[in-house]
Amino acid sequence: MRLEALTPGLLQRAIAIYQDLAYGKTARGPRAPVELPAGTDPDALLGVFQKEVVETVPGFPCHRYSLRLGNRNYPFMKLLLQEHLVVGEFFFAVDSHDQMEIKPDYPDYEAWMALRRFNRELKLKIENEFAGAGLDTCTALRDRVAASCEADGTACRGLVLVVDDEEDLAGAVESLLSCRGYRIYKVHDGKAAVAATAELLPDLVLLDYELPELDGLQVIARLRADPATAAIPILLSSAGRVSMADIKKADGFLSKPFPAALLYEMMDRVLKTRTATPAPERPEERPQ
């Protein structure tokens, strides 16, 4: 969706769906009303959001608009109008905003993990309801990317393992990279990422940080500890804050959201830095 297509009706529908699922239709919990400006000017409607610009590398900005609405158990969850991969195209999403690092030895670790599971399930429910109501979500982004991509005739550039628990976003990345001559294998949790890397020995792992089972840093630690996978380049991405020390554990880092051009730039950069390292022999390829 282009921002000029945003209307009061679309925004009201998104907020109502979010709040009905986050608090219940009986208004259980501190459900605050959201006052929309009069008129239909998209710029005025965007004024209810906080505008954020993510620019991992100068010259490659991506924008998102966030509105903190919370939920009945956690006050920091946000409604997003998100630009990602395709410049100028936005979609509705939910940011659980719960990426704080809580270690297993912390007293409240189990309670925090339960809250994160609740937030994740709620996020998926809201985004599925958005799609069912005809609002643009990452599903629409995936479909548009798939419909618009045409192979450029480039010879096969190698195998990329895409690891992301947001399956539609992983599908959009698959379409973009397939058009550039890469073969793609997708998995959606950390344990599957470790297993697939050991089995397929890809040329690059495009790894999300926030994953079920094992997070991105745990995946990196296991891959680096195995001589068979230690030299495989890893491009880490995250929508949350990641320390510089943790970023250095990967070969490159992308802060979400990011445009496709930056993804290509960072992949090329990471792969070039690894050209001096002999690639491990890859087992016979299997269809996905």
Tokens standing for residue 26: 């009986």
Tokens standing for residue 164: 């992301």
Final residue in a domain of this structure, among 118, 139, 160:
139
Based on the fold, state whether residues 158 and 87 are members of the same structural domain: no
Domain count, the chain: 2
Based on the fold, state whether residues 74 and 179 are members of the same structural domain: no
Per the CB < 8 A criterion, the answer to whether 204 and 163 are in contact is: no
Per the CB < 8 A criterion, the answer to whether 184 and 177 are in contact is: yes
- For residue 101, pLDDT beyond 90: no
Based on the fold, state whether residues 239 and 122 are members of the same structural domain: no
Tokens standing for residue 97: 């905003």
Report how far residue 232's alpha carbon sits from residue 230's, in angstroms, rounded to the nearest whole number. 6
The pLDDT value given to residue 286: 47
Report how far residue 97's alpha carbon sits from residue 240's, in angstroms, rounded to the nearest whole number. 8
Q: For tokens 């690639």, what's the residue?
A: 279
Report how far residue 191's alpha carbon sits from residue 178's, in angstroms, rounded to the nearest whole number. 24
Q: Return the C-alpha torsion angle 23, 27, 32, 37, nearest 10.
A: 100
Based on the fold, state whether residues 126 and 157 are members of the same structural domain: no
282, part of any domain: no
Based on the fold, state whether residues 167 and 117 are members of the same structural domain: no
Rounded average pLDDT over 47-69:
92
Bridge pairing between strands 204-208 and 234-238: parallel
Q: Return the C-alpha torsion angle 36, 42, 44, 46, nearest 10.
A: 70
Per the CB < 8 A criterion, the answer to whether 98 and 115 are in contact is: yes
Per the CB < 8 A criterion, the answer to whether 145 and 86 are in contact is: yes
Confidence of residue 107 (pLDDT cuts 50, 70, 90): confident
Question: Which pTM was predicted?
Answer: 0.85
Tokens standing for residue 178: 């397939």
The pLDDT value given to residue 275: 60
Average the pLDDT over each of 35-39, 128-132, 204-208 and give the range with the smallest value: 35-39
18, part of any domain: yes
Rounded average pLDDT over 43-61:
91
The pLDDT value given to residue 26: 63
285, part of any domain: no
Final residue in a domain of this structure, among 108, 139, 170:
139
Q: Which residues of 51-72 are buried (b: 16+ CB within 10 A; e: fewer)?
A: eeebebeeebbbbbbbbebbbe
Based on the fold, state whether residues 8 and 133 are members of the same structural domain: yes
Range of 215's domain?
Answer: 151-273
Based on the fold, state whether residues 113 and 44 are members of the same structural domain: yes
| Residue among 221, 206, 226, 236 at smallest CA distance from 280 | 226
pLDDT tens digits along 233-262:
999 999 888 889 999 999 999 999 999 999
Rounded average pLDDT over 213-231:
94
CATH number for position 239: 3.40.50.2300
pLDDT tens digits along 128-178:
999 999 999 999 999 999 888 876 666 688 999 999 999 999 999 999 999
Based on the fold, state whether residues 34 and 128 are members of the same structural domain: yes
Based on the fold, state whether residues 71 and 119 are members of the same structural domain: yes
Based on the fold, state whether residues 79 and 175 are members of the same structural domain: no
Report how far residue 193's alpha carbon sits from residue 161's, in angstroms, rounded to the nearest whole number. 8
Decide: residue 181, CB within 10 A, 0-12 exposed, 13-18 middle, 19+ buried: middle
Based on the fold, state whether residues 86 and 162 are members of the same structural domain: no
157, part of any domain: yes
